[in-house]
């Protein structure tokens, strides 16, 4: 029997960082946070060459995104591009992907979404190509719940505004989706929440494929998934900071 009683709201309130406590990461500019997010997700398997894009809406309505020309594991803070809400570049000589329209439409359609992530990860990409929803076999795969829609109407690439708008409408109010024959899409309120969702999705997909190759097993029951899903809407305590510190150890120049 899984021990699930430790995953409760009281635990998250008890261990939530409080004012005056030791900082878990150095003070980071918004652009440094986005650059770190690129590095962190690259390490999680969101690493299809120069494909993929992260957008983060700022309080003033501008949007930060990674440049088209760079891989996620080489992006630094100074490379991050600022866009207006129409996608116009405000402060960079880098380019943005033509598929940025999908992100802009999502930000426009859902006011609660400040982070949008799209790439072609290995493990979730397998299930997207199978057009199947991966079962959940362990606690780490259940952190964000079980519902996972598949957008299975491949109409072309996302630089076509009609195609991207169809994907936005199909996503509805979901927090993530598999894009058939394409990749994965994750949205979130902030970087911490979006990171947990992206990492959980790839873990879930990897474990499900490994279990299938091993001959199959009984997935977690729906009531168990509900018990172990994290109650904190802002992600797993300390996880974002821990993964950020790992990237800072690997390459402190990410902040430059």
Using the predicted structure, report yes or no on whether residue 6 has a pLDDT greater than 50: no
Instruction: Give the pLDDT of residue 21.
Output: 66
Whole-angstrom distance, CA of residue 115 vs CA of residue 148: 18
Q: Does domain 28-250 have CATH number 3.40.225.10?
A: yes
pLDDT digits (tens, 9 = 90+) for 149-205: 998 765 555 455 555 556 677 788 899 999 999 999 999 999 999 999 999 999 999
Place of tokens 């120069």: 50
Whole-angstrom distance, CA of residue 92 vs CA of residue 19: 35
**In terms of Cα–Cα distance, which of 220, 129, 235 is closest to 175?**
235
Look at 34-43, 53-62, 222-231 and tell me which has the smallest mean pLDDT. 222-231
Instruction: Give the pLDDT of residue 173.
Output: 87
Q: Where are the beta strands (DSSP E) in 66-114?
A: 81-83
Whole-angstrom distance, CA of residue 162 vs CA of residue 140: 36
Instruction: Give the pLDDT of residue 20.
Output: 55
**Three-state SS at 177:** strand
CA quadruple 51, 54, 55, 58: dihedral sign: negative
Using the predicted structure, report yes or no on whether residue 5 has a pLDDT greater than 50: no
Higher-confidence position of 134 and 172: 134
Higher-confidence position of 73 and 101: 73
Contact 136, 208 (CB under 8 A): yes
Q: Where are the beta strands (DSSP E) in the chain?
A: 53-57, 63-65, 81-83, 115-119, 150-151, 176-179, 183-188
Using the predicted structure, report yes or no on whether residue 19 has a pLDDT greater than 60: no
Instruction: Give the pLDDT of residue 165.
Output: 58
Angle, alpha carbons 23-28-34 (nearest 5°): 125
Alpha helices in 44-155 (DSSP H): 100-109, 122-130
If one counts every other C-beta atom within 10 angstroms of the C-beta of residue 221, the result is 11
Nearest-10 crossing angle of helices 191-213, 239-250: 90
The mean pLDDT value of the chain amounts to 88
Span 115-141, average pLDDT: 97
Tokens representing 238 are 């300390």
| Domain layout of the chain by residue ranges | 28-250
pLDDT digits (tens, 9 = 90+) for 236-254: 889 999 999 999 999 999 9
Instruction: Give the pLDDT of residue 15.
Output: 46
pTM to 2 decimal places: 0.87
Whole-angstrom distance, CA of residue 63 vs CA of residue 105: 12
Instruction: Give the pLDDT of residue 153.
Output: 60
């Amino acid at each position: 029997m899984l021990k699930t009683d430790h995953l409760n709201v009281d635990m998250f309130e008890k261990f939530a960082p409080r004012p005056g406590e030791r900082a878990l990461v150095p003070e980071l500019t918004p652009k440094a946070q986005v650059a770190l997010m690129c590095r962190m997700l690259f390490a999680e398997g969101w690493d299809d060459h120069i494909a993929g894009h992260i957008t983060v809406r700022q309080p003033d309505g501008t949007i930060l995104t990674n440049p088209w020309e760079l891989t996620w594991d080489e992006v630094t803070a100074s490379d991050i591009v600022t866009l207006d809400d129409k996608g116009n570049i405000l402060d960079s000589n880098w380019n943005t992907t033509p598929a940025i329209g999908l992100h802009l439409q999502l930000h426009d359609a859902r006011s609660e979404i400040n982070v949008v992530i799209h790439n072609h990860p290995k493990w979730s990409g397998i299930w997207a190509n199978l057009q199947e929803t991966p079962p959940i076999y362990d606690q780490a795969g259940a952190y964000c719940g079980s519902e996972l829609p598949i957008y299975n109407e491949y109409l072309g690439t996302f630089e076509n505004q009609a195609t991207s708008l169809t994907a936005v409408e199909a996503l509805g109010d979901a927090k993530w989706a598999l894009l058939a024959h394409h990749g994965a899409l994750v949205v979130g309120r902030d970087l911490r929440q979006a990171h947990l969702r992206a990492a959980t999705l790839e873990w879930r997909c990897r474990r499900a494929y490994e279990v299938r190759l091993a001959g199959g097993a009984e997935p977690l029951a729906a009531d168990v998934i509900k018990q172990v899903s994290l109650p904190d809407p802002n992600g797993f305590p300390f996880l974002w900071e821990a993964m950020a510190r790992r990237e800072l150890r690997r390459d402190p120049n990410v902040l430059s």
